[in-house]
A and B are shown apart, each in its own frame.
Chain A
Amino acid sequence: MTKKYAILLFLAAILAFPLRSYANEEEGKVDVKENLFHHLGDGYGWEVPFSHTYRIPLPVIVRAEDGSWHCFSSARLSEYEEVTDAATGKTHTVAVPRIVTLGKEGSADTYRFVLAHASKHKDKVVQLLPTSAAEEEDAIKTAAAGNDEIVDGYVKFDGRYYKEYKPFDISITKNVLALFIAAALVTWMVMGLVRFYTRKGFKAPRKGMGFLELIVDFIYTGVIKSTLGSKAPKFAPYLLTAFFFILVMNLLGLIVIFPGGANLTGNISITLVLAVFTFVLTNINGNKHYWKEIFWPDVPLLLKFPIPIMQIIEVFGMFTKPAALCVRLFANMMGGHMIVITLTLLIFIFAAFGSVAAGASSVVSILFSVFMLALDVLVSFIQAYVFTLLSTIFISMAVHEEHEHEEAKEAAA
């Protein structure tokens, strides 16, 4: 028992020390919101552990105002500067944004890009357009009038205003790379199982592959086949792909270092695409019965004839169902990440009150974080399962024949 307490205290001490010094460096000020959204959001590079400045460089792909495509390394977007703290005299390195100039300096086809900070497109790469002195004057005036340094259509960089253009941006960002890693992982897992089958014939897989097969069976037999019946083979590939993709993305998001750490399913772009797929699949496969339920449901005539109340509700429902799918997954995953990050940030906030508070809050925060992460593992599975289950139900409602529908209703009742 005493041994356990000793380990716990030791851990707390280790955890508290560097944090305290770090907190001192930052003069005890922690921008919680900034940190939170930085960790939840996307980025042009990928953070590595134990470095505040270094990012794994990733390609930035943008389409400039004149329609030309440009590709450059994200490492070029920032440079490192030594900063000396006036109070303590310590120096540390910080990354500051800089202008990336492509093409010959001063010629007509020079393209300048910068990672915007004081702009409407914060933390995005924007193209700097040639700005006349009059235009800059205008921007400064607008900023002074609005008492806000952000001016629409302009980006403030190094104290100067430039006209900006938000390029068409398909950069391989941190999230995009994480997406590819997740897709590759799913492919590797599934094709591994397929390879096992082709090699070993009818032998049942064991261990990891057996577990994978168990999950496939759990989803296929338990969810897809029991809901869709004879139509299961047609929709199973989409539903299984969605399930495993979501599951792997969820779990990768919980790993804090390199191959993981990207908050993918907690990003609305990802869940939106998934929900759109379900929406499209549901509606292109909808049968006569499905459309009849929407445009001429079995309700009293007055509810649907002179004023199409029911039709409006049903059409609205068509869109709210996938929208709920999208938001549910997004909110659950983002919520989980947010709680863990906030708990971690608590340490930095309490660090301002001295080492005792920092040490105590470290222990509490870490215990809670571990608990929350464990819970998130469960949530990862549940959310992937729920997404698949609801997609299956939406599709089954669209493709089921009337008598099957009645039977399902009876079974539910």
Chain B
Amino acid sequence: MELFTPDFGLVFWMFIAFILLFFILAKWGWPVIIKQMEGRADAIDKGVEYAREAKEQLDHARESAREVIGEAQAQQAEMLREAAKMKSQIIEDAKKEASEEARKVMEAAKVSIEQSRKEAELQFRNEVSKFSIDIAEKMVRNQLRNDEDQKKLVDKMLDEIEKN
């Protein structure tokens, strides 16, 4: 039967057609398609990987940013606290110094007042003694206008010296 026995002509042409088709497609067809498909698959894989990495990096960056911000905030708080401490210290110091200064000034003032008072006292004493001498002189002059009085006095003085 024709169907079950290979026909030479058909085998011959099939051989030629298949070989030709094979060489054409093996040279210009399949390698290009396979390379393209695999290339595209790789590109997609790479893209996905890249996106995943980028997301990871973004997450990471967010994390680190948060960390940095936290650190900065902590630092800021620290600095504020330090500043406050320093402020109070300075105030304290200033107060202390001021009181010291004030004390010194007061001391100096006291000394000078004492000095002035002493000087004034001395001067006053001198004045008083001068006045008293003057007064005494005037009184004496007054009392000693007559000779009797003068004699009485001299007597008295002499009595006194004698007693001594």
Contacts and interface: CB of A to CB of B under 8 A. Distances in A.
Please name the 5 residue pairs, one residue from A and one from B, whose CB atoms are nearest each other, closest first: A237-B26, A269-B10, A190-B29, A269-B6, A273-B14
Decide if the interface of chain B is mainly helix, strand, loop or mixed. helix
Nearest to B11: A269
Contact of A190 (B2, B4, B25, B43): B25
Nearest to A217: B37
B21 A186 contact: yes
Contacts of B9: 169-171, 173, 176
Contact of A170 (B13, B31, B37, B39): B13
A69 to B, nearest CB: 13
Contacts of B37: 213, 216-217, 220
Contact of B14 (A179, A198, A241): A179
A136 interface: no
Given A190-B33, A213-B37, A233-B34, A240 B25 contact: yes
Given A42-B2, A190-B33, A241 B7 contact: no
B10 A277 contact: no
Nearest to A180: B17
Interface residues of A, number: 48
Contact of B29 (A168, A194, A213): A194
A193 B33 contact: yes
A269 B17 CA distance: 13
Interface string B10-23: 11111101101110
A41 interface: yes
Given A42-B2, A175-B10, A238-B26, A274 B18 contact: yes
B33 A268 contact: no
A183 interface: yes
30 contacts: A40-B3, A42-B10, A169-B8, A170-B12, A171-B9, A172-B13, A179-B13, A180-B17, A183-B17, A186-B25, A187-B24, A187-B29, A190-B29, A190-B30, A193-B33, A194-B29, A197-B33, A202-B40, A213-B33, A216-B34, A233-B31, A233-B34, A236-B30, A237-B25, A237-B26, A241-B18, A241-B25, A241-B30, A269-B10, A270-B10
Contacts of B10: 42, 173, 175-176, 179, 267, 269-270
B7 to A, nearest CB: 5
Contacts of A191: 28-29
Given A123-B2, A269-B7, A272-B11, A220 B34 contact: yes
Given A194-B32, A240-B25, 8 more contacts: A42-B2, A169-B8, A187-B25, A194-B28, A213-B33, A216-B34, A237-B31, A269-B6
A245 interface: yes
Contacts of A193: 33
Nearest to B4: A268
Contacts of B4: 268
Contacts of B1: 37
Contacts of A187: 21, 24-25, 29
B22 A238 contact: yes
- Most central of B10, B11, B24 by chain A CB within 10 Å: B10
A307 interface: no
Nearest to A216: B33
A266 B10 CA distance: 13
Nearest to A239: B30
B5 interface: yes
A170 B43 CA distance: 49
Nearest to A61: B9
Interface of B: 1-15, 17-18, 20-22, 24-26, 28-34, 36-37, 39-40, 43
Interface of A: 37, 40-42, 122-123, 168-173, 175-176, 179-180, 183, 186-187, 190-191, 193-194, 197-198, 202, 204, 213, 216-217, 220, 233, 236-238, 240-241, 245, 266-270, 272-274, 277, 334
A186 B39 CA distance: 23
A96 B30 CA distance: 48
Decide if the interface of chain A is mainly helix, strand, loop or mixed. helix
Given A37-B3, A197-B33, A273 B11 contact: yes
Contacts of B40: 202, 204
Contacts of A41: 2-3
A42 B22 contact: no
Nearest to B29: A190
- Most central of A169, A194, A216, A217 by chain B CB within 10 Å: A194
Contact of A268 (B3, B20, B29): B3
A220 B9 CA distance: 32
Contacts of A238: 22, 26
Contacts of B15: 273
Contacts of A269: 6-7, 10-11, 14
Contacts of A270: 10, 14
A122 B3 CA distance: 12
B32 A197 contact: yes
Contacts of B33: 190, 193-194, 197, 213, 216
A202 B43 contact: yes
